[in-house]
């Protein structure tokens, strides 16, 4: 892990509840852009929540 991503991971983890590995993967997927990482995380959580609700109502 390079130092830039390590520092960005620390900042990202202060903003959102994310683990080390998942946070690093997310940061790498958006080329280190913390704003995009945070928005992507929030969008993913909304999708997971909706999918979970749908699974519970259809199951």
Secondary structure percentages of the chain, helix, strand, coil, to 5: 80, 0, 20
Predicted confidence band of residue 2 (pLDDT cuts 50, 70, 90): confident
- Largest Cα–Cα separation, the chain: 46
Considering the entire predicted model, what is its pTM? 0.82
Task: Write down how long the chain is.
Answer: 59
Residue 1 has pLDDT above 90, yes or no: no
| Distances 28 to 2, 23, 41, 47, 54 between C-alpha atoms, Å | 11, 9, 13, 21, 30
What percent of the chain is predicted at pLDDT more than 90? 80
């Amino acid at each position: 892990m390079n130092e830039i991503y390590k520092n960005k991971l620390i900042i990202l983890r202060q903003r959102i509840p994310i683990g080390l590995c998942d946070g690093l993967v997310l940061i790498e997927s958006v080329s280190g852009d913390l704003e995009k990482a945070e928005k992507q995380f929030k969008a993913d959580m909304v999708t997971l929540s909706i999918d979970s609700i749908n699974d519970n109502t259809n199951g």
